[in-house]
Amino acid sequence: MKKEDLAEAIMRSAGLTKANVHRFYHGLIDTVKKELEGTGECVLPGFGVLRVRMRKAREGRNPRTGETIHIPRRKGVSFRPYKELRLLLNPGAKVEAEDEPDGEKPQM
């Protein structure tokens, strides 16, 4: 889904103007970036949690030349969906209670 498709879907479901949807979208993205940079975690209630994770250094291979290269450790972002989203994607799957971050129940 492209940004414009997302904006169009939000416009239809929420009854907002295109300008308001774009302001909301940019505000949401800015807020998520600031939270990840500041606390290393951003909770999206009813959806899931974004967390900054450190990836280990490793050896990789240049696909063009086959040369072995060193890939340094670096930060990345991981996403952990809340139980409702996991169950929506995997109907009938058993989901343990400890899967929720910090023992919190998602709010809808």
Q: What is the pLDDT of residues 36-51, one digit of tens each?
A: 999 999 999 989 999 9
Q: What is the pLDDT of residues 64-96, one digit of tens each?
A: 999 999 999 999 999 999 999 999 999 887 766
Share of the chain above pLDDT 90, in %: 75
Q: Region 103-108: what's the mean pLDDT?
A: 46
pLDDT at 106 over 50: no
82: exposed, middle or buried (Cβ count in 10 Å: 0-12, 13-18, 19+): buried
95 within 8 A of 86, measured Cβ to Cβ: yes
pTM for this model (two decimals): 0.71
Question: Could you tell me the residue ranges of all domains in the chain?
Answer: 1-38, 40-108
Q: What is the average pLDDT score of the chain?
A: 88
pLDDT at 108 over 60: no
pLDDT at 19: 93
CATH class of 40-108: few secondary structures
Q: Region 8-20: what's the mean pLDDT?
A: 92
